[in-house]
Amino acid sequence: MNKADKVSFAIKTLAERYPTIPIPLDHKDPYTLLIAVLLSAQSTDVRVNQITPKLFAKADNPTDMVKMSVEQIREIIKPVGLSPMKSKGIYGLSHILLEKHNGKVPQSFEALEALPAVGHKTASVVMAQAFGVPAFPVDTHIHRLMYRWGLSSGKNVVQTERDAKRLFPKEKWNDLHLQIIWYGREYCPARGWDLSKDIITKTIGRKSILKKFNC
């Protein structure tokens, strides 16, 4: 099976498994999505979804957020980890949205990545999920699966994103990045991995990995 066949098999299988694709982080608009994604760094979506209702009950827009202090924000978001950095980022970006963007989340990678605590992955998620712009945010699941499937070298997430964009059709990027995340969680986790249930890796996986399972 050549690489094009592997890509086609992955796309087909993912579409069959996840014909409808839920968004992992609860939100109601671009701003609440931006905050949720920022909070998800080195945390879990489950934990973030437990905390954001408490935060958004007090401030679900930049105007209300800047009425709070950094310390007040930090106290609410402590359970998601990295709260000193994240609270400063939330407060700072909310100020900038009011000062430079009329309180709206900008619809460009450049403007998003210029905001405090917003990196390329966060910007990519917002562009894809809030505005429908083709992007391929790479998290730990996508990075792991692209390597296991032999579709990327696994050197770093920058290379993984580059490979994903090169191999997968652009019109499918926004669906695929979510489908791969859900598949990784359900069938191809970092720990407790059961290859017999992971049809994609079992079919197209890297030979060195399959060899470990005597496949």
Q: Is 190 helix (H, G, I), strand (E, B) or coil?
A: coil
Are the C-beta atoms of 201 and 39 separated by less than 8 Å? no
Are the C-beta atoms of 86 and 80 separated by less than 8 Å? yes
3-state percent breakdown (helix, strand, coil) of the chain, nearest 5 = 65, 0, 35
Handedness of CA 127, 129, 135, 136 (dihedral sign): positive
Q: How far apart are CA 65 and CA 70, in angstroms?
A: 9
Q: How far apart are CA 182 and CA 26, in angstroms?
A: 15
Please identify which of the residues 6, 86, 121, 163 carries the catalytic annotation.
121
Instruction: Indicate if 139 belongs to the active site.
Output: yes
For every residue of 54-94, DSSP letters joined together read HHHHH-SSHHHHTTS-HHHHHHHHGGGS-HHHHHHHHHHHH
Q: Is 212 helix (H, G, I), strand (E, B) or coil?
A: helix
Q: Is 29 helix (H, G, I), strand (E, B) or coil?
A: coil
Instruction: Indicate if 121 belongs to the active site.
Output: yes
Q: How far apart are CA 2 and CA 43, in angstroms?
A: 36
Please identify which of the residues 6, 45, 60, 139 carries the catalytic annotation.
139
For residue 169, the 8-state DSSP code is -
Which residues carry out catalysis?
Answer: 121, 139
